[in-house]
Amino acid sequence: MKWTLFLDRDGVINRRLPGTYVKRWEDFEFTHRALEAINIFGKYFDTIVVVTNQQCIGKKELTVAELDLIHSNMKKEIELAGGFIHKVYYCPNLKAENAPCRKPNLGMGWLAKRDFPKINFQESIMVGDSFSDMEFGWQLGTKTVFIEGKEEETERTRQIPVDERFENLWQLAEYLESPQADLITF
């Protein structure tokens, strides 16, 4: 397959820490059966990347080296479980800066396309737990999967198309393994 999977991190791969950030590997906890799900995704996606806003760096609550260590450990655990993540992209800027790399802006998507030229956004899925993730995917032209639980819909967010909704990555993996699954008509 030539499909690409874009994954948000906090609230999707790992549990979100309300009111704070994952600042140490010891605080990183995979969501329900996320490791198994990412392993299954390897059967359906040629490229899997993480795109995550990490303004904790801009707030000086975490260094780049500390974030890199968390991501290195995350990737190692995923690989030990039989899965893979090709690359992790993050935006360290504060939300107020509206940096090109910060979702819903498209910078991380275009960086991934530069690094993996075979990425075709029309054959990609963006999975996230915020409507900025959905807007990011929609603007790139990907399919979108909303992991429910973080945000309430508002009139503005109802205008952003969402192709599918699941409670977690494991439910998405179960769907992909089911006979009715079809990425093209997702």
Q: Is residue 28 scored above 60 in pLDDT? A: yes
Q: According to the model, what pLDDT value does residue 54 have?
A: 97
Tens-place pLDDT, residues 88-112: 999 999 999 999 999 999 999 999 9
Measured distance CA(26)–CA(161) in Å, rounded: 36
d(CA 95, CA 75): 26
Confidence band, pLDDT 50/70/90 cuts, at residue 1: low
pLDDT band at 185 (very low <50, low <70, confident <90, very high): low
Catalytic residues: 8, 10
Mean pLDDT computed over 161-177: 93
Confidence of residue 155 (pLDDT cuts 50, 70, 90): low
Domains of the chain and CATH, by start:
4-177 (3.40.50.1000)
For the whole model, what pTM was predicted? 0.93
